[in-house]
Structure 1
C-alpha cells in the first residue's frame, strides 16, 4: 500500500534521537538531565477532537469518536496508519487498542473515526470515514495517531514521545501519557476535547485542546444534529450550498448536519415560516445546482440582516409546504447555529427571469411518477429552471399582474411574454399541455404592518424591479419572497356589464356566491346583489351555487336556507332588481360536501314577472326525478327535482337541481349544477408529472349520470329546450365536460368564445374555466357572456365570475 509522499517537518522524535552520543564522547562529559521533548508543530495531520462519552447516561451521541484533521496543502494518506487508545493510568497489563485506517485526509479536511457505541444516546454520528470498536473513557485517556498498525508499547509520556511511530498524541483528563506540560482538560458524557479553529499544535495538550460540546465532522463536512446551543461555527466547512442543493430536487445531503456553510444573507422573513436565505457568491459551473438555501429558525425571529456574511451549521431537510398533494419541496437548513463574519456586504446579483429565458416546456414527464430524482434540465423545463434557482436572488421587471392581490397579501405575475394572454391582461389556461410557465407568485418579506402590500388587479403592471429569494408557497407555486416590489401601474380594469336581453329573449345566469349565509356582512350581500342587478341585468333565472343553510357553518343539524335566500332576495330588491321568487330542495344534513355544517345547495331565483316556474310535487332530497310523456308533453316527474341523488357519483357532493320553467308559453328545462371540487388533485407544478387529477374520476361519473338524464329527456322530446349550467369545477377540455357533451346532447357555450375570453376563475395566475352554460341542440339562437366582475379584482364579492345566456326559444 502506498504511503503519503507529502513532506514532513523534522519531528521531536528526531531531536530526541540526536541527543544519543558515541560512548567515548559521553564518558568525557559531565552528564545533566535531558530536557523534555522539544515542540515541533505538525504541518499536516493532527488529532482534532476526542470524545469518549458516547452512549453513556446523559449523552446525546451514541458513539465515541476520534476526529483527525489535515492542516497541510496536500492530501495526507492514511494507508498503513492507525488510531490507538490506552487508559488514563495504564497498568502492567494495559495494552493499546488499535483501529486501522485507510483512505486520506483532504487538504484542510476532516476524517471521522467512529468507535464503540454505548446503550444510551439518541443521535447517530455522521457517516464515519473509518470505524473501530475502541471503548474510550468519558473522562480520562490517551489517543495516538500512529504510523503502523502494531499496538504501541509505551506507557509513559517520555517513552511515547520517543517512539518514532507516534504521529500525534492527545492525553485528556488525568492521563499519564500526554504531550507537553499536562494533559488536556477532563471530559464527560457531554463534552469532548478539541483543537481550536487554527488546529494549533504546540505539542502541549493542555494548551492546544479545550473541552466543549462534541462536534463530530466527517470528510464531507457533515456533523451531527445534537440539538445543542452552539454559539455557531467558527470556520467554513468543505461543503458549499451547491453541494447541498445538488442536481436533483432532493438534497444529496438530506438528513445530514453540515458544518460551517458560508453565504451572504439575501432575505430575512420574520413572520410565518421564520428564517433567512443565504447565497454563495462563488457559484460553481453547473446551472442545475442552486447557490441559495433557506435557513429555518423555527419560532425564533432571525437576528441576521441582509448583507451579512455568515457561516451556518444546520441539518439538511426537505420541507413540503403546499397544502395540495404533490407540491415541490424546499431544501433548507434547520436547527441552525450561525456566526456572522461581517456585515454590509454586497448581495449576489439577482438572476433576471424574463421572456425566452423561461422554457416553453413546463416539466419533464415521468408517466405520473416523481421527478424528484431526475437531473434538473433548467434550459429545457420551466419547473427545473425554478428549482435550480430555489433560494437564490431572482428578479422580474415591468411584469403584468395575472392574479389580483388577495387577502393573504400576495399576487401573481407572468414573466414570459410568450404565454397565452387573456383579453383583459391575464394569461388564459387552454389545455393540460400549456400551463403558462412564466407564472410566479409575489410575496413581501416586509410585514404588512410596516409596509402595505401593493393592491393590484389583473392587467395592472409591476413596473421597476421586483426581486428577492425564490421560494415555494404553501398554496403551491414558485414565489418571489420580495425584498423590493415594483410600483403598481393601474391599467384601469373595469367590471363588465352584459348586454340587456330583448323582450323576446329569456336570460338565464349562473353565479357561485361563495358560501353565502345570513352571518355574512351586509356589504357582501349588497355586492352580490349589485352584480345580479347591474352587471347581469337582472336575468329571468339565476341559478345560485354555495347557498348555505340559515346558520352557515354551525353544525347543528339545520338544513333550511330560507333566511339566506330571503336576505339575498331583499338585497337584490334594494339594488333596484326584481322581486325574485325561488325554489330549491334542502340536502340531507352533512351529505352534500362543502364547508362542514354549511349544507350548501343550488337555488333557482326567477322573476315571476317574466317567467313562470312549473311546480310539480314529489321532489325531495332523496327521490330521483324522471321524465314522463313524449314530444311537447314531455315533462319532469318532479319540479324542482334532483337527478339520481342516490347514485354513488354524488357522494359528499351536490346533486343537480332540475326545474321546469315556461317562457312565452314555451317549456324550458334548467339544470343547476355544482360538481365535486378539485380537492386532492396534484397541482400543475407537482413533483409528480404528469400530475394526477384524482377528483376527476368522480366528476366523470357525475357527468355520465347527468348526460344520461339529458339524453333520456331528448329521447322523449328531441326539441326539448335544456339549459345546464353552474360550477362544474372543471375545464372545457376536461374528460368530465367531454362526457357531459357526449353524443351532442349538450353544447358547451364557452367554446363559442375567442380563446382569450375563456375563463371565469383565476387560480395560481391562470385564468381558467370552472363555470359553464350548456344548451341542447334545440336552442340555436343564443348569446353567451362570461361577465368578469370578480375573479380579476382585488376586491371581489365572490371568487367566481357569473355567466349569462340570452335565448330566443
Structure 2
C-alpha cells in the first residue's frame, strides 16, 4: 500500500528504472516496412510487431516527457482506422531528453517495437507498447493535434475485465480487446492516445508525488464525502483514473477527495506500475474545492469505554507530526480510554544500529497529547527483536497501548517479551492472561517478518476487557487490479490467513474459559471487512467486525488508487455485540486529505462493559 516524487515520476511509467521494468520480446527481430500505429498496437494487449524493426511510422507528436528515466514522446496517427480495438497512439522511448521534436510536429519514426512491463514481469502488470531506439525525422511542424477522445460514464463499460485465459495462467494479454464490453479493454484500446475527461470528481487526494485520482462515473459506489467505495472483489470501480501532469509539479493541484477538476483535463493515456492507466495531462482542469472537513467523533459517556485503533505511520522521535497526531487523538477522537497504536518505531527510527526500545517515541507522543489538552496517558508495549517484525529496516515497528489511567487500569503480569507467548488461564472462574502485556504465538511462522499481536488485560468499572492489538502482513506482492492476470492473485493473503487463524484461536481460548468475556481484536488488519482474512478472524462467531454496523457507503479507513476501502478494523466478542449497545465510528481525518499525517483513518468503538 501502497509511492513516488517528481524525480521518481519516471518510475511510474513503462520504462521505469532498469531493475523495475522488463521487456517482452515475442518474435525474432525482423524488418517491417512502413506500418501504421494501429498496426503496431494491434487488437490485443501485445503488439504483433513486438521485437521487430519498423520504419517510417507516421504520427503527430502529442506530448513530450523530458524528466525522469522514462523520457520520450507520444505520437498519434491523425488518420485512424475503423477498428475501435486498435489504438492510434504509441510512446516513443528515447531514454534521454528528446531533442529536435515539438508538440505538433508531423514525424516519421523508425525503431524497435517493445513491450515493457512496469515493475517487471513478476509484478503481473500489463505491458506498454513502445517504439525504442528510435530514429526520428520531422516532416512538418505546427500541425493540428488529433482530437482528444472523451472518457466518460457512457464510454466506460460497467464490466471491469474479462476472465483470463486459463491456458496462459489467467493472462488476458492474448485475448481480443472488447472495448465496448470491458473497462480495462476500453482503456487499453486508447493506450498512447490523447484522451480527455471533463468536470471529474477527485476520489484519491493529491499525494506527495503530484498524482491524484478522479472518477468519470460520479454515481459509482459514491460515499457522502465524494469518494468511491470498494465494497467487494467485484466492485473494482471502473470509472477511476489516475491523473499526473506533463507540466511543473509545482502547478499540480492540491486536491482532497470530493473536490472537482472542472473543465477539461487532457493528455496521453499511459500505463504505469503504481496505478495502471494514467492520464498524463498536458492540460489540467481547474480545482474546485468541496470544502472537505476532518471529522470529529463524540466524547464517550462516563459509563462507556472508548477503544480506538490508529496507525501513526512509522512514528519516531525525529518526526514533526507529534503535535498533529496528538491533536487528532484529543480533538477528533475525543481522548479514547484505550488506543491501540500501530507503526510505533524505535527511538532512532530507521537508523539500523540495534536499537529496539521505543520509550522516547511514546513519551514524546504522550507529552504532545497533554500539551493538546488531553489526559496524561500511560502505555504498554513489548519491544521486538531487532529487524524481525518487518516494516522499514531499522525501524522495528510495533503495536503499543495508550490508556488513560484516570478511566481504566492495566493489569500487569510480568514476563512478556519478544519471544515468549502469553496464554489464557482461569482464576476464580474468570479468564486471565498469563502475561500482560504479552504476545500471541510469537514464534509461529505466521508472524515471520511481521508484527506479532500484543495482548493486554484492562479493567474498567470493575469489568475485565481483553484487547488484542494487531498489525497483519501487508498487501505487498499482490497483483494490482489492472494486472494482466484476471482476476489478480492476492498472494499476501496466505500469511494473513494464518495470522487470523492464530488470533481467532486465542480469542476462542478466552471465550472457552469465560463465555461472556469482553474481547476486542483491533488494528491494521491490512484486509477488507469482506475478505477471507476477516472471515477467519471472525471464526464461528468468536468475533465480529464492527465496521459492518456502518452503512456500506461509510465502510472505509484508507484510500488506495481512488478506492475508499477498509484496512483498519475493530472486532468484538459476542458479549459486546449481543447488547447492541455499542457505537462505531470510522473517523475520517487522514485518508481523504492531501495533507494527511498518516495514510490511515482511526477507528473508535464505544460500549458499556
Give TM class, smaller chain.
over 0.9
Q: TM-score, normalised by structure 1?
A: 0.70
Match of 2:9 in 1: none
Distance 2:406 2:107 in 1: 74
Match of 1:270 in 2: 66
Verify: 1:370 aligned to 2:171, yes or no.
Answer: yes
Distance 1:770 1:303 in 2: 49
Verify: 1:518 aligned to 2:349, yes or no.
Answer: no
Distance 1:435 1:630 in 2: 50
1:547: Cα distance to partner?
A: 0.4
Verify: 1:793 aligned to 2:584, yes or no.
Answer: no
Match of 1:464 in 2: 263
Match of 2:212 in 1: 411
Q: Aligned to 2:508, what secondary structure does the other structure show?
A: helix
When residues 643 and 570 of structure 1 are mapped into structure 2, their CA distance, relative to the original with a 3 A threshold, is same
CA contact (8 A) 2:384 2:396 kept: yes
Equivalent residue for 1:348, pick from 146, 149, 152: 146
Match of 1:666 in 2: 463
When residues 126 and 755 of structure 1 are mapped into structure 2, their CA distance, relative to the original with a 3 A threshold, is closer
- Is the deviation greater in 756-765 or in 292-301? 292-301
Q: Deviations over 1:741-773 (max 9, x none)?
A: 111000101111111101000000000000001
Equivalent residue for 2:484, pick from 679, 687, 705: 687
Q: Aligned to 2:466, what secondary structure does the other structure show?
A: strand
Q: Return the index of the structure with the highest Cα Rg.
A: 1
Verify: 1:757 aligned to 2:558, yes or no.
Answer: no
Distance 1:479 1:125 in 2: 31
Match of 2:115 in 1: 318
Match of 1:80 in 2: none
What is the 5 A alignment of 1:196-211?
Answer: none
Verify: 1:802 aligned to 2:602, yes or no.
Answer: yes
CA contact (8 A) 2:64 2:98 kept: no
Verify: 1:736 aligned to 2:537, yes or no.
Answer: no
Match of 1:615 in 2: 412
Equivalent residue for 1:401, pick from 202, 205, 214: 202
The structure whose RCO (Cα within 8 Å, separation 6+) is larger is 2
1:627: Cα distance to partner?
A: 0.5
Q: Deviations over 1:438-462 (max 9, x none)?
A: 100000101225xx10111000001
Distance 1:535 1:388 in 2: 46
Distance 1:496 1:459 in 2: 14
Q: What is the RMSD computed on CA atoms of the aligned residues?
A: 1.3
Distance 1:126 1:677 in 2: 41
When residues 344 and 632 of structure 1 are mapped into structure 2, their CA distance, relative to the original with a 3 A threshold, is farther
When residues 357 and 740 of structure 1 are mapped into structure 2, their CA distance, relative to the original with a 3 A threshold, is same
When residues 327 and 631 of structure 1 are mapped into structure 2, their CA distance, relative to the original with a 3 A threshold, is farther
1:525: Cα distance to partner?
A: 1.0
The count of aligned residue pairs is 575
CA contact (8 A) 1:419 1:438 kept: yes
Q: Deviations over 1:517-574 (max 9, x none)?
A: 11112xx111111110100001111100000111111111111111111111111111
When residues 302 and 579 of structure 1 are mapped into structure 2, their CA distance, relative to the original with a 3 A threshold, is farther
- Is the deviation greater in 355-364 or in 314-323? 314-323
Distance 1:388 1:601 in 2: 46
When residues 125 and 782 of structure 1 are mapped into structure 2, their CA distance, relative to the original with a 3 A threshold, is closer
Match of 2:41 in 1: 245
Structure 1, unmatched stretches of 5+, are 1-123, 128-217, 222-236
Verify: 1:532 aligned to 2:339, yes or no.
Answer: no
CA contact (8 A) 1:676 1:698 kept: yes
Equivalent residue for 1:308, pick from 102, 105, 109: 105
Q: Aligned to 1:356, what secondary structure does the other structure show?
A: coil
1:301: Cα distance to partner?
A: 3.6
Distance 2:158 2:119 in 1: 24
When residues 741 and 331 of structure 1 are mapped into structure 2, their CA distance, relative to the original with a 3 A threshold, is same
1:340: Cα distance to partner?
A: 1.0
Verify: 1:489 aligned to 2:288, yes or no.
Answer: yes
Match of 1:509 in 2: 308
Match of 1:603 in 2: 400
Equivalent residue for 1:542, pick from 336, 339, 356: 339
CA contact (8 A) 2:29 2:51 kept: no
Distance 2:603 2:459 in 1: 21
1:266: Cα distance to partner?
A: 0.9
Verify: 1:710 aligned to 2:511, yes or no.
Answer: no
What is the 5 A alignment of 1:95-134?
Answer: 127=30
Q: Deviations over 1:754-808 (max 9, x none)?
A: 1110100000000000000111010132100000000000001100000101111
CA contact (8 A) 2:67 2:97 kept: no
1:437: Cα distance to partner?
A: 0.6
Distance 2:100 2:365 in 1: 51
Equivalent residue for 1:292, pick from 89, 108, 112: 89
Distance 1:279 1:399 in 2: 25
Distance 1:607 1:630 in 2: 26
Distance 2:100 2:404 in 1: 63
When residues 685 and 125 of structure 1 are mapped into structure 2, their CA distance, relative to the original with a 3 A threshold, is closer
Verify: 1:439 aligned to 2:260, yes or no.
Answer: no
Distance 2:573 2:477 in 1: 32
When residues 389 and 650 of structure 1 are mapped into structure 2, their CA distance, relative to the original with a 3 A threshold, is same
CA contact (8 A) 1:508 1:806 kept: yes
Distance 2:573 2:428 in 1: 15
Distance 1:773 1:448 in 2: 38
Match of 2:135 in 1: 337
CA contact (8 A) 2:341 2:402 kept: yes
CA contact (8 A) 1:275 1:302 kept: no
Verify: 1:697 aligned to 2:494, yes or no.
Answer: yes
Distance 2:388 2:509 in 1: 27
1:329: Cα distance to partner?
A: 1.3
CA contact (8 A) 1:513 1:544 kept: yes
Task: Show structure 1 runs of 4+ deviating over 4 A.
Answer: none
Match of 1:383 in 2: 184
Match of 1:649 in 2: 446
What is the 5 A alignment of 1:30-109?
Answer: none
Q: Deviations over 1:693-747 (max 9, x none)?
A: 0000110100000101101100100110011110000001110001111110001
Match of 1:778 in 2: 575
Q: Deviations over 1:570-590 (max 9, x none)?
A: 111111111111000011111
CA contact (8 A) 1:760 1:767 kept: yes
Distance 1:654 1:253 in 2: 48
Q: Aligned to 1:369, what secondary structure does the other structure show?
A: coil
Distance 2:371 2:210 in 1: 33
When residues 740 and 569 of structure 1 are mapped into structure 2, their CA distance, relative to the original with a 3 A threshold, is same
Distance 2:52 2:373 in 1: 67
Q: TM-score, normalised by structure 2?
A: 0.93
CA contact (8 A) 1:268 1:302 kept: no
Structure 2, unmatched stretches of 5+, are 1-26
Q: Aligned to 2:291, what secondary structure does the other structure show?
A: coil
